[in-house]
């Protein structure tokens, strides 16, 4: 239980990879703040499960990652409730698949807002607390799309590349303060985010569901297997250990060899 006494905030943790991070931190004793959308009874069940796992408190904060004011309030409330913010995971994400000439501007704004600007707002609010404590871990879920592009994902690829640039910059700014700042870049992980883009990809490319899975999603992943949320969370847990204190400003791939190709 090496995270007992630590507070971890995970944005977008009501499902998928974010929930796996929250479970991993709770299993090591952390007080966890979860965030994201979903059915309120299911969210409360998740919150209670996390508290039971950690033996510490667990909170849900409904902040919309499109809103800088709500993000700042989420960080401050976590500090007031728990005494600090030790681990921040920028994980909330959305996707829209469309060629550039048909890409709806509101979808561009939403993807840049949730996948990139939210990390600016969380880091801006959390870094002073981490510096004051002399310890902190900031981890952002980027993507293989932070390193390479795919067709029809202009906003997502731009946001994820930007998230890596922001990470490198804040890593330099915090390098002597006990705070590390890194990205984890998964390949395809089987979560609702991937499931939800299958119909659009089927329509955009005239493919069946099976063709999208085999010929589009797993085509780029040499292992021909989806990454699991738990594998991504295991790396985040390692980044929280003292053994990882020299890893900062990095973008660590968990992509089945995708970006090696
Ligand atoms: P998911 O859809 O299961 O989870 C996304 C989470 O973000 C949910 O909790 C959702 O409620 C939350 N969210 C969305 N909009 C929000 C908003 N405005 N405010 C607050 N919360 C919001 O997706 P996932 O696959 O677990 O994705 C998590 C992260 O991993 C994303 O940043 C995604 O880009 C990244 N990623 C996913 C994959 C993959 O294959 N699934 C691969 C690489 C990177």
188 catalytic? Reply is no
Per-residue pLDDT at 109: 98
The dotted CATH code for 7-187+228-254 is 3.40.50.720
In this prediction, residues 227-239 reach a mean pLDDT of 98
**Residues enclosing ligand 1, CB less than 6 A?**
12-18, 35-38, 64-66, 91-94, 114-115, 141, 143, 186, 188-189, 191-194
- The reported pTM is 0.96
Q: Tell me how many degrees the CA angle 216-91-226 measures, rounded to the nearest 5.
A: 30
Nearest CA to ligand 1 atom 33: 93
Residue 217 pLDDT > 90: no
Whether the CB-CB separation of 154 and 105 falls below 8 Å is answered with no
What are the boundaries of each domain within the chain? 7-187+228-254
Separation between Cα atoms, residue 255 and residue 240, nearest integer Å: 21
Mutate to test the pocket of ligand 1, among 191, 197, 226 (most ligand atoms within 8 A of CB): 191
User: pLDDT tens digits, residue range 8-22?
Assistant: 999 999 999 999 999
Nearest CA to ligand 1 atom 39: 189
């Amino acid at each position: 239980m090496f995270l007992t006494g630590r507070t971890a905030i995970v944005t977008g943790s009501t499902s998928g990879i974010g929930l796996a991070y929250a479970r991993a931190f709770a299993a090591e004793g952390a007080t966890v703040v979860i965030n994201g959308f979903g059915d309120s009874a299911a969210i409360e069940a998740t919150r209670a499960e996390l508290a039971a796992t950690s033996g510490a408190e667990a909170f849900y904060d409904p902040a919309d990652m499109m809103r800088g004011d709500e993000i700042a309030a989420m960080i401050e409330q976590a500090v007031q409730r728990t005494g600090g913010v030790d681990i921040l995971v920028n994980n909330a994400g959305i996707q829209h698949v469309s060629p550039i000439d048909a890409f709806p501007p509101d979808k561009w704004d939403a993807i840049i807002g949730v996948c990139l600007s939210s990390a600016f707002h969380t880091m801006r609010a959390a870094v002073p607390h981490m510096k004051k404590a002399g310890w902190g871990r900031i981890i952002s879920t980027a993507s293989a799309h932070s390193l390479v592009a795919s067709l029809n994902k202009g906003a997502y690829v731009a946001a994820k590349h930007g998230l890596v640039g922001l990470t490198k910059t804040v890593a330099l700014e915090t390098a002597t303060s006990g705070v590390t700042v890194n990205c984890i870049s998964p390949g395809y992980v089987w979560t609702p985010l991937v499931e939800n883009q299958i119909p659009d990809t089927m329509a955009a490319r005239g493919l069946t569901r099976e063709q999208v899975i085999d010929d589009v999603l797993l085509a780029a992943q040499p292992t021909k297997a989806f990454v699991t949320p738990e594998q991504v969370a295991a790396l985040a847990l390692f980044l929280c250990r003292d053994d990882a204190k020299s890893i900062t400003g990095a973008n660590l791939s968990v992509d089945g060899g995708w970006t090696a190709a």
